[in-house]
Each structure stands twice: as C-alpha cells, then as structure tokens.
A and B are shown apart, each in its own frame.
Chain A
Amino acid sequence: MGIEKYMNDINANNIIEVKNLVKEFKGLRAVDDITFSVKENEIFGFLGPNGAGKTTTINIICTLLSKTSGEVTLGGYNVARERNKIRNCIGMVFQDPSLDDRLTALENLYFHGLLYNIPRSALKERSEEVLKMVNLSSRKNNLVMTYSGGMKRRLEIARGLLHYPKILFLDEPTLGLDPQTRNKIWDYIIKLKKSKNITIFLTSHYMEETEICDRIAIIDEGKIIALDSPDNLKNTIGGDIITILSEENVKLKKYIKEITGSDVHDAKEGEIRFEIKDSSSFIPKFIKNSPVKILSISARKPTLNDVFLDLTGREIREENASARDNLRMRMMRRMRH
C-alpha cells in the first residue's frame, strides 16, 4: 500500500507511459519491446531513420492502431479500452497530410470543432486564435488546395490545437518542406511551447531538428537505443569531434591512438575522425608534434548525428532521406490531380 502510493507519486507527472510495447506486421517487428514515458509539459522527441517505428508507435498511442502486446496509457487512460477519453485530450499532426483540401481553412477548423464538440459560441473565436498563431488569418477563406506545403502544415498544427489538447503529437512536422519553411515550422513549435501549458511529442529523422526537445529517445529498427536530454546524449561522446585530412592516414591513426588513447575512425572522403576532450588546447600542440603532414584539421561540437553514428555505426543519410521524401510528396501530389 505504502509502496504503491509512492510509485504513483513518482509517476504522477508522466502523461504517457509505454511498457514493453510490441507491434508486429505479418512477422515484421516494427516496434520491438519499447518502454518509455513522457512527462507532463515537456517536449519529447522520437529521433530515428525512416522505418524505425516512430509512426507506428504514435499511431498506437493515438488509438489508430492496435498493439501486438504491451501496456500503453495516456493521461491515465488505457489505449485499448478508453479510446474516446484519449482522443479527447490529444491533438494530432500526422506524418501525411490530413486536411480536406476542397474546403477552406476556416471550414476545416469548423468541422474539427464540431467533431470535438467545441461549443459553437467558442468555436469562431478559437479558430481565429489558432489561425493567428500560425499566421494564416489572411488566407482563412481560401480553399486549402491553393495552399503551399508549409501553409498546409501550419494549418494542421492550428487544427491540432483547436480543442485545447493536453498533448500535441507532431509526426515529422517538417517532412518534405524546404529548409526555410522547416525553420519557420520549428519557430511556431517553440513559440507554442512558450505560450501554452502543453506536452509535445514529436518525431523527426532530421537530427538537428530535435535539439529543441527536453528529452529525446533515439529509435532504430523498432528499439529505443538511447533516451536522455540532447546535452546528455552529446556528452556521451568523449568531447569534441576532430576531423583530419593527412598525407598518411595509417601512421597518423597509430600516433593519435598512442597520444590520446581514443579510437580513430575513417570518415568521409579520406578523412579520419576521433574525439577529444579539450580541442582548443589539443590542436596547436598536435599540429606541432605530428609525425605526418596535416593537410586540414577541424574541430566541432558533437551533434546528435554523431550520437547516432556512435550508437549504431551508421549515419542517418539525410540527403537520401530527403530525396525520398520529396519523391513521396511528389507522388502524393500527382495522385491528387
């Protein structure tokens, strides 16, 4: 009894709890026994390459997909049994567009308001409020068909907020958008976090974008392989990342290993890389004493990409990923017309 109460107290601010969640699609384990929780009012991020299982997990949490096994609760409600309770307190921005583009922005919001039983007296005011927040007020009476990709995304965010959800899910909110528009979307998300008491659960396969999260789960092949704040994750890497182009890599690698004790890896385009604690005092000494001629050297702070590389031995190939996204978006667009 006493223990139970204690357990409840430490879990009191967890708004989502996932325990040993498994989802199989005809033999494929898309989600492979993951356990994590999301705290109230934090920005929680799922970071991982395409096909890692991010969308599948979100679809289970938001009651759209059944699980194979495991326990999932949201706001204390069970996803399998109390679906409508959960649906009432979540706002969704799905990975793929989900607007009715034959309707105007205002009409999309109106229908959303009806579905969520927002009193009509409040609905108009709230619509204006969320449209203003994403800077779409001037276009509210245009058909969504005439919107750009970024505008559609913003409208989806506005719609997801209309019923004042406790949690907003954003599944790859910047997928298929150009870099400038992507930055804008993140600005809105940061602004949202500052102005409202809301929990945000987002996913991305763009490493640098998840930096705004309070905590990140790195997910790969259906498993969570790390979960911490972005800073702590980066601190798992032993310092700064040094990249060197030299005339004789083999010899240099041996030398570096001798003086620093850290492992040296081959990097892109004939470069080698390693990690070192205090790069600014290390580099001058190193260049002076190096037995091999150094052609170029650079030092930088570790990124989440380095963390992923460190954990999996692979890089998330962003160039390829975004090319694929673009193709995907183009295909979707073609099918619409």
Chain B
Amino acid sequence: MKKELIGVYTIWLRDIKRYFRDRPRIIASFAQPILFLFVLGTGIASSFSTFGGGSGGDFLNFMFPGIVGMTVLFTSFFSAMSIVWDREFGFLKEVLVAPISRTSIVVGKLLGGSTIAMIQGAIILLFSPLLKIPITFVIFFKIIGIMFLVAMTIATLGIVLASVIKSMQAFQVITNFLLMPMFFLSGALFPLNNTVRWMNIVAKINPLSYGIDSMRFAMLNNPAFQLYPLWLDIVVLASVTVVMSILGSFLFSRQD
C-alpha cells in the first residue's frame, strides 16, 4: 500500500516538475485567456449597445468564471492526455514495467493534471481586480475546491480517451470535435438558458456546464447567472468523476 502511494506521488511529481520547467507553456497559458477576456469579451460587451441590449458591463463579469473554467478545462485535459505523448515517446513503458499498479498510475496522472489546472486557474484569478470582482480569502478557497473538482472530472475524461486512442492524429481530432464544442456549449461564453433547444439539451449532458455553473456561483453568487443549485453541480461532477475514473482505470489496465 505504501508502495502504491509512493507510486502515485512519483507520477504526480513528474508532471509537476515538468510543468514548472516548461516556462514557455506557463507564459503561453496566459495568452489565450487574456485574448478571450479582454479582446473577445470587451468587444462583445461593447457591441451590446449597438444591438440595444443595455450597457454590457455585466457581461465581462459573467464571462470571467467561464474563462477560469476554460483554463481548467484545457489544462487538465491536456495534462491527462499527455499519456498519449508518453506512449509515443516511450516513457510510458518505463512506468508500466515498474512494480506499481495501473490504478496508481491513473490516480497519479489525475492528481498531477488537476494540480496543474488549479495552479493555472489560480493565475487567471489574478485578473479579477481588473474586473472589480472581489475575491476574498473564503471565496478563493471555494474556487480552488471547485476548480479541483472540475479539473478531476475533465482529467478522468482525458484518461479514458488516452486509453482508447493510440495515435497523435486522433488526438487532434478529439481536440477539435470534442473539446472545443464542450467549451462552447458549457455556458462559459454565453448563457444557455435562453438559447435554442438543441443547445440547451447538449449543455445539460455536458459535464463542463455544471463546472462553469458552480464556478460562477463561487465567484459572483448572482442568482440571475445560476442555472442549477450548487448541490446538483457537485453531485453531477462527482458522479462523472467516479464513473469515468473507474472506466479509465479499467481501460488503461487492459493489455493487448
């Protein structure tokens, strides 16, 4: 048992070490959220007056938790999917032939991805004063907790996919046809309660919607922006995580 815990720790530590060593990645990870928030967000907000929808001042506030959610989504997904890289470049074999269980490898990978996603998300929180969103100590820890849960959910999804696909090409396909739609249909960029019916339905089965919803609750606590009660968000996220991590462990442990 102790051996397995050390195994989990080792897998986790490697991901963390590699993350902090990869400066370009850390810097690049700022670029996308800034672009979304201050270019797209500001642009859309100011167009509200053109279309006669009020000031749009609330829009940036609405979008901010979505951007934090986006950061968590991409970071934890790609971290978990790095198993595909490790397989391609051979390091995975070193881990697979070591005397630790497949489950420990999966758990280590999940925790590694989630930790990095939390760090990245927390960095984005630094922009909150610019939007005049007050983040107190208590709110900060609420957000951290929620970010961790969301990151775990997404990372389990990444593990499942990484265990099924074996090539880098398939990886591109998944990014374009799964990850981007998941992001757009999560309520991160626009509210989903007033859109067309099919979008509404897709959003309901998209686990990320619940993550974004809970993030918004923790940051803004504005009932107008809230789709579901918090307990529902947490139950959905936790259930998806449990189911997906069991499935992921199973798929990852298969031998050919």
Contact code string A77-121 (vs B, CB < 8 Å = 1, else 0): 000000010011010101011111111000100011011110000
A84, B99: Cβ atoms under 8 Å? yes
- Grouping DSSP codes into helix (H, G, I), strand (E, B) and loop, the A interface class, with mixed when no group exceeds half, is loop
The answer to whether residues A62 and B13 also contact, given A115-B7, A117-B3, A336-B89 and a CB cut-off of 8 A, is no
User: Does A335 lie at the interface of the complex (its beta carbon under 8 Å from any beta carbon of B)?
Assistant: yes
Q: Which residue of A lies closest to B94 (CB)?
A: A98
B10 and A66: CB pair below 8 A? no
Nearest chain-A residue to B255 (Cβ)? Answer: A66
> Quick check: is B166 within 8 A (CB to CB) of the other chain?
no
A279 in contact (CB, < 8 A): no
In the assembled complex, the CB of A270 is this many whole angstroms from the nearest CB of chain B, namely 45
With contacts A62-B97, A107-B17, A116-B98 taken as known, whether A97 is within 8 angstroms of B255 at the C-beta atoms is no
Q: How many residues of A contact B (CB 8 A)?
A: 29
**Cβ contact within 8 Å between A111 and B99:** no
Query: A66-B256, A111-B14, A115-B7 given as contacts; is B99 within 8 A of A99 (CB)?
Result: no
User: For residue B7, which residues in chain A have a CB less than 8 angstroms away from its CB?
Assistant: 114-115
A90 and B6 in contact (CB under 8 A), knowing A66-B256, A111-B14?
Answer: no
CB contact under 8 A between A64 and B91, given known A100-B14, A103-B18:
no
- B residues 1-53 with Cβ under 8 Å of A? 3, 6-7, 9-10, 13-14, 17-18, 21-22
Report which residue of B3, B89, B95, B168 has the largest number of chain A beta carbons within 10 angstroms of its beta carbon.
B89
- Verify A88–B255 contact, CB threshold 8 A: no
Q: Are B91 and A99 in contact (CB under 8 A)?
A: yes
Q: Which of A289-337 contact B (CB under 8 A)?
A: 335-336
| B90 within 8 A of partner (CB) | yes
Contacts of A88 in B (CB 8 A): 99
A287 interfacial by beta-carbon distance below 8 Å: no
A-contact bits for B212-235, CB 8 A (1 contact / 0 none): 000000000000000000000000
Which residue from B10, B96, B101 sits with its C-beta under 8 Å from A64? Answer: B96
Per a CB cutoff under 8 Å, which of B17, B88, B91, B97 touches A63?
B97
CB distance from B93 to the nearest CB of A (A): 5
A12 close to B (CB within 8 Å): no
A65 within 8 Å of B (CB atoms) = yes
CA distance A98 to B90 in the complex (A): 4
Q: How many pairs, one residue from A and one from B, have CB atoms within 8 Å of each other in the complex?
A: 75
Q: How far is the CA of A254 from the CA of B88 in the complex (A)?
A: 56
Q: Is the CB of A115 within 8 A of B89?
A: no
Residue of A nearest to B101 (CB): A84
B93 touches A94 (CB 8 A): yes
User: Chain A CB within 10 Å — which of B3, B96, B97 has the most?
Assistant: B97
**In the bound complex, do residue A103 and residue B90 qualify as a contact, i.e. CB atoms below 8 Å apart?**
no
User: Are A102 and B98 also in contact (CB < 8 A) when A65-B255, A114-B6, A114-B9 are?
Assistant: no
| Min CB gap B111→A, angstroms | 15
Do residues A102 and B9 form an inter-chain contact, with CB atoms below 8 A? no
Q: Is the CB of A94 within 8 A of B90?
A: yes
A117 to B6, CA, bound (A): 8
Contact indicator B97/A87 (Cβ below 8 Å): yes
The one of A64, A66, A99 in contact with B97, judged by C-beta atoms closer than 8 angstroms, is A64
Q: What B residues does A102 contact at CB under 8 A?
A: 18, 21-22
B240 in the interface (beta carbon within 8 A):
no
With A96-B90, A115-B7 known to touch, is A103 a contact of B97 (CB < 8 Å)?
Answer: no
The distance from the CB of B249 to the nearest CB of chain A, in whole angstroms, is 16
**B246 lies within 8 A of chain A by Cβ:** no
A74 and B256 alpha carbons, distance in the complex (Å): 20
Nearest CB of chain B from residue A79's CB, rounded to whole Å: 11
> In the complex, A107 Cα to B91 Cα: how many Å?
13
Given A87-B99, A94-B93, does the pair A335, B14 have CB atoms closer than 8 Å? no
Residues in B neighbouring A94, C-beta threshold 8 A = 90, 93
Q: Can you list 13 residue pairs at the A/B interface with Cβ under 8 Å?
A: A64-B96, A64-B255, A66-B255, A66-B256, A84-B100, A87-B98, A87-B99, A92-B94, A96-B90, A111-B14, A114-B10, A115-B10, A117-B6
| Other A-B pairs beyond A88-B99, A114-B7, A115-B94, 13, CB < 8 Å | A84-B99, A87-B98, A92-B93, A92-B97, A97-B89, A98-B92, A103-B14, A103-B17, A111-B14, A114-B9, A115-B6, A115-B98, A335-B88
Q: Which 4 residue pairs across A and B have the least CB separation, nearest first?
A: A115-B98, A98-B90, A87-B99, A114-B10
Q: Which residues of A contact B (CB under 8 A)?
A: 62-66, 84, 87-88, 90, 92, 94, 96-103, 107, 111-112, 114-117, 159, 335-336
